[in-house]
Amino acid sequence: MNTKAKVSKKLTISNDYGNWLNGTEWTHFMTGTTRNEMTMNSARRQAEGYHKWLSMGGDTTMFFAAEPFDVREGYHIHALVKLPDLLDYKDAVLMWQKVTGAKNRSNWNRIELKAYDNRKGASYYCGKYITKNLSDYDYFAPIRLGEKQKKDLSASWQMFKNDFK
């Protein structure tokens, strides 16, 4: 396959995936990193954990892409997120700290959580990641937590919030 055909195929895949993702009413675009080096597998685990914790507040949809850094070893995460109505911005930021193992503000892990701009569309935010060779991506639909799981997560969350200084 010639280079022009490869580029055309990647653009088609990116546009099609972006158009499909535009069917979700995203609320935020997230970039997350940790102080420790993340492998592609650990980046996926962090994304899965973040989705699970956000789901404690209600229906949460998330599309994530993990890609390597340009200037250092390891991976970072980009995600489109539909936050549930019961969670505020501060809780969503703090949940990233919980998932990534931060114990206090002195070992804070970077998260950037911006309002999603519908005019730009999903392709603008995440289209380039799905065509990279060294990336991982996935779509997480809302999950239904059982009452016991909600209660356990809620208790753990309250302890974390109380202890995080």
Mean pLDDT of 132-151: 82
Q: How far apart are CA 95 and CA 54, in angstroms?
A: 7
Q: 78-109, pLDDT tens digit by residue?
A: 999 999 888 889 999 999 999 999 988 888 99
Residue that the structure tokens 């950037």 belong to: 112
User: Which residue range is the domain that position 128 belongs to?
Assistant: 3-163
The H or E element spanning position 4 is: helix 3-21
Q: 32-72, pLDDT tens digit by residue?
A: 999 999 999 999 999 999 999 999 888 999 999 998 877 77
Q: Which two tokens mark 49? A: 């954990």
The H or E element spanning position 63 is: strand 61-68
CATH code of residue 159: 3.40.1310
For 155, half-sphere exposure in the C-beta direction (CA atoms, 13 angstrom radius) is 5
* Global pTM value: 0.83
Q: What is the number of domains present in the chain?
A: 1
